[in-house]
Every structure is written in C-alpha cells, then in structure tokens.
A and B are shown apart, each in its own frame.
Chain A
Amino acid sequence: MNTHMRAGHVRFGDLVAAEWIKIRSLRSTFGLMVFGVLFAAVAAWWQGHHVRVAPGAAAAFNPLIYPYDQLTWAFITVLAATFGALTITGEYASGLIRTTFVAVPARRRVILAKSLVVALCMAVFGLIASLASLYIAGYALTGQLSGLSLGQGAALRAAILSAALPVLGSQIGIAIGALIRHPLSAIGATWGVLLLLPTMLASGTIGLGTATEGMPLSAWMTLARTASTGAHQSPLPPSTAAWILILAWPLASLIVTATTVTRRDV
C-alpha cells in the first residue's frame, strides 16, 4: 500500500467524524427520530383539538401545556435516552468496543466524541419536534387560544427548552448504557428511571418528595412554564434550581460515562 499515514495524535474532529459514521449507519437512528417527530406532532394536534375554551376565558389557560404536554415530552425524552443507551450497549454487545478502543486508546476522548454526536443528533431532532408541536398545536387552537408562535417570548423559551430535553435525555441514556452493559436491562433501567420513577415520585408511591423536584422533567416544567395546574400538582423546583438541574443532569451523566468506561475492562 502506498498511502502515507500521518503519525501520532488523533484529532478530535476525526473522532467526531468516526462516531457520526457509526451512528448514522445504525438503523434505529433515523427510525427513532422520525417516530418521535410524528408522535410529537400527533400528540400536539390531539391536545389542541380537544380543548374547548369559552371566549373570554382564554386568560385562565396556559397555552404552552398543549404543544408541550408533560406526558408526550416525557415519552420523547425516554426515546432519546433509549437512543443514547443503544449507541453504547450496541458496541459492547457486538464487541465493537474492543476494536474502537484499540484504534483509539484515549477512551475519554472517544466518549466525549460519541456524546457530542449523540447530543447534536438529538438537538436537531428536538428542534424539529419542538417547532412542529408548537405550530401544529397553534393551528389546532386557532380562534381559542393564542400565544403559540415563536414571536412570543414565553413560547420561544419553551420551544428552545423542549428542544434541549432530548439532548439531556440522550446523555442520561448513554450513562445508563455504560453502567449496565446488557442491552435489555439497560433499556429497562432507562425507561424505569426516566418514566416510571418520576411518575411514582409524583404520585407519592415512593415517598421521596424532594426528589420529585430533581427530575429533569420537573426542571423543564418550571423553566418552560409548561406545568399544568391540575389537581395532582407535583412540587416543582424554583427557577435557579431548575437551571442548575438542566445543566447538572447531562454533565453528571457525561462524568459517569467517562469514569465507568475508562475504569472497566472491556
């Protein structure tokens, strides 16, 4: 072979490109994202469609809860987390992880590159889903409620924060996948932690009241003002705490992933 190879240090850009190639060739990548966007769109239309607001009573309603329904976006977050978990457990299950770490022994950089690619994918996905929800719900609610367009400050804020939710979820999924390398258990744990745990905390089934406020979705609800004012109101964190949580969850996940993968034998 006559190609000249560049010796030494691998550039981070190359690592990111390599991870992108691996992730885009996964069948589940686009499947999950397409399904997620469709789900968000249908749910937003459904939510908007079934609201009947008496004229003049519009002020009592928070229009943001329709495009950014709590349950729908919990599901989207879990889908994103599943995607994140898949990118790691797939490598462990197939043994590709050994090839990867022999090719690039600097494990932390590989993890950083992988997390970055996943985050970028999920950011795009989140943005599409978020904007679709906003405008579809807005359309379904025309004549009844207004305020669902990017021009409005509150809506813009909610849209951006909702687009960030899948990014957050995917990082948590990567961490769970790195901790529990068995694909079935990792996915079970992901759904348990992101869907069942907050539900159970909120309903009081598990009596750790303050932990309810620590869940990623609670932080999102505070900041995006998407909390409904229904009967079963679970406690929400105050604004500063919510901002810290939104940043802390992905950061902590990244640290957990990097530490676990570096420490463990492969």
Chain B
Amino acid sequence: MSVQPLAPRLRGPRKRARPADLCAAEWIKFWSLRSTPTALVLLVSLALYLAANNSRHGVLPMAGSSGPLNPQRAAFDGFSWLPAMIGAGLIGAQAMVGEYSTGLIRTTLAAVPDRCRISVAKAAVVTAVTGGAALVIGAGGLALAVAIIHAPSPVDAHPMRAIWSSILLLPTCALAGMAFGTLVRHAAGSATVVCALFGFIPIMLRPTGNRWATDAANAMPYYAWGRLTGAGTGTMTVAVAWATLAAWAAASIVITILALDRRDV
C-alpha cells in the first residue's frame, strides 16, 4: 500500500508557521491527556465548594480588613482562591515541563522550528483554559454566594472588576508557571517554585508591618488581585494593581519565549 502524496495545492513550504494552526495543535495536545482536564475539573469544583462554604459559615478575613459578610467577599475570599492559583500555575508548568520530561519537545520543535510561535501558542491555550476556569469560578461562585446568603443587594462595590481581575489572575499564574517550567525544565522543581510563590508567600508576607514586607507583598499577584476584588488586602491603587498583574503576565511570556529559544533541546 503506498501513501498518496499530498494534494498539489497544499505542497510547498510556508515561510512562517500559522498561529491559528499552532494554537489548534496545542489545544489538541492539552485536551488529549487525561490528567490536565481532570486537574482542571477538580480545581474548579474545589473553588466553587469553598465559595459555597464561605457563604454558609462566614469567612475569617485576613489581617487588615474587616466588614460584614457579603457575597462578593465570600466568592472572592483570598485563601479560597489559593488552590486555584496553585493549580493554574501547575497547569501552565505542565504545558512545558510535560514536553521536556517525555522528550516530546524534540518532536514538536522538529515539526515547527519557529520556537517563538510555539511558546506563544502554548501561552494562548493555557490563558484561554485558565481564564475560562476563572470565569466559571468567579461568576459561579458569586451566583452561589448570592443564592446562599440572600443578601438584599448582591455585592458591595465593583463586582465586574472582581470577575475581570480573576480572569486575569489565573492566566497570570499559569503563565508564570509556564515560565518556571521552561526555565527549570524539571517537573518537581517548577512545581515547588509555583507552590512556594503562589501558596506560601501570600500566607507569609502581609502588606502590613514594615516597609520592605509591604512592598514585597504588594508585588505579588495575590495582593494585587485582592485589591481589585474589594477584599482590600493590597495597599496599592487600583491602577497599580492592574499593572502588577499585567506585568507578571507579560514578563512570564517574555521569559518563556527567551528560555525556549536560546537553549539547546
């Protein structure tokens, strides 16, 4: 049996890889493994459970803020989003580290030598998936909270800002995870960095206390996001908070692109 050559109109090499093709390929790769969709579902379920739980039992706010329980506070409680942040970071790391650890990166780069576009395509898919998860957790959590608390007016201030900032938060964590994965190239190492950065640092550093700790804490995505959701845990202005999240995302993408492009595989 002989393979038919490709139809003539498709022959001839392209100069540049098409972004749509690359994103579609990365999308197929993401969903064709059992582990990543399972992790995503677990993450979203856990976050929604915590939001519902917060609404039922009340939530102890972090030091530095106080107020009556309202649905927005319950749905966007900082600690309840920590698992989602870590999970998003791990998903982002897996997108790169998974290829390195199996050797698939060689197949991928031999098929598409344009490494810059591969990085961007992976970033796009991971952003879309975690952004979608953030939408479900944010909007869904808010709806659950409103339903459980029966508050007369659903939220205090800026509910849309809370949702939008959450949609920016999880992809930022995922992109940072991808950057660590590309730098470290080692599953356990990148996972440890992600957990330490997104799980431990928010608990350890608080933006109260001395100047150094405040500045360091405010630079963390956790506190920037907290400022935007109305939890009041960050002490910067709204504009700076948005900029912090955007800076993390942008820096992560740049690091990923450079790290993949410069090194031998």
Contacts and interface: CB of A to CB of B under 8 A. Distances in A.
- Asked if A and B touch directly (CB within 8 angstroms), the answer is yes
Interface of A: 28, 71, 75, 78, 82, 85-86, 89-90, 93, 182-185, 187-188, 190-192, 195-196, 199-200, 203-207, 232
Nearest to B60: A203
B58 interface: yes
A231 B105 CA distance: 51
A232 B60 contact: yes
B203 interface: yes
B192 A200 contact: no
Contacts of A204: 57-60
B60 to A, nearest CB: 5
B103 interface: no
Interface string B62-79: 000000000000000101
Contacts, number: 87
A184 B187 contact: yes
Contacts of B203: 71, 195, 199
B53 A206 contact: yes
Interface in B197-246: 199-200, 203-204
B199 A205 contact: no
Contacts of A78: 195, 200
Q: What range describes how many residues of B lie at the interface?
A: 35 or more
A188 B87 contact: yes
A82 B59 contact: no
Interface string B175-191: 00000000000011111
Main secondary structure of the interface of B (DSSP, over half): helix
Nearest to B46: A192
Nearest to B57: A207
B2 interface: no
B29 to A, nearest CB: 16
Given A188-B86, A203-B79, A89 B188 contact: yes
Contacts of A207: 53, 56-57
Main secondary structure of the interface of A (DSSP, over half): helix
B80 interface: yes
A187 B191 contact: yes
Contacts of B190: 184
Interface of B: 35, 39, 50, 53-54, 56-60, 77, 79-80, 82-83, 86-87, 90, 93-94, 97, 101, 187-192, 194-196, 199-200, 203-204
A82 B50 CA distance: 25
A71 B204 contact: yes
A93 B102 CA distance: 9
A182 B90 CA distance: 12
A182 B196 CA distance: 19
21 contacts: A75-B200, A82-B188, A89-B187, A182-B35, A183-B187, A184-B93, A184-B188, A187-B192, A188-B86, A190-B195, A191-B199, A195-B200, A199-B79, A203-B60, A203-B79, A204-B57, A205-B53, A205-B54, A205-B60, A205-B77, A207-B57
Given A191-B195, A232-B60, A185 B53 contact: no
Query: Counting chain B CB atoms within 10 Å of each CB, which of A184, A185, A205, A232 scores highest?
Result: A184
A86 B190 CA distance: 12
A185 B58 CA distance: 30
Contacts of A183: 187-188, 191
A105 B4 CA distance: 50
Query: Counting chain A CB atoms within 10 Å of each CB, which of B90, B200, B203 scores highest?
Result: B200
A184 B79 contact: no
A185 B90 contact: yes
Nearest to B187: A183
